[in-house]
Chain A
Amino acid sequence: QSALTQPASVSGSPGQSITISCTGTNSDVGGFGYVSWYQQHPGKAPKLMIYDVTNRPSGVSNRFSGSKSGSTASLTISGLQAEDEADYYCTSFTSTSIYVFGTGTKVTVL
């Protein structure tokens, strides 16, 4: 099972919107509605931001939203803020009942 493909870096100015893609196959992202997204600040454990493609856990800002088209899932951060600068990872449940993570994306707020 290969890692899901994410862009290495994405940047934007405060207030702008950015989108991070997560590309897999029909055996993972394309075949299931179990894509989740995680935010990780340096030295910290990852934090769940989106689950089941589009759902936000309680306490997560509504500036974060998720979507999926075919085998590519996306995380959009609107109204970009300095505190959003972090690494972001997607993950998907797969056809063999295991998990695969994305390669990770570093978000920079300019």
Chain B
Amino acid sequence: QQQVKQSPQSLIVQKGGISIINCAYENTAFDYFPWYQQFPGKGPALLIAIRPDVSEKKEGRFTISFNKSAKQFSLHIMDSQPGDSATYFCAPQGGSEKLVFGKGTKLTVNP
């Protein structure tokens, strides 16, 4: 049973465009919703995270939108840059314990 479904699997965006990645989850016990960024050969790095008591959080060019009733959250990257080219993972968590990773979205930003 797949607890976390991430889409799309891959995404190609032009420089300056908006990248949108979606994550749907099943476990209502999740109470922390992070996005991680991973470059080839590196470990995942925490990008931005949200708690269910707010519907949106913005940090620079990165925004998380959260829809509790639909059990979905998304990552928006504004003004996408070639340096944003990486694999992005949603990884919701319940109770300060294990992260449950989606399968990842490979983002390519063309110059």
Is the A/B pair a real complex? Answer: no
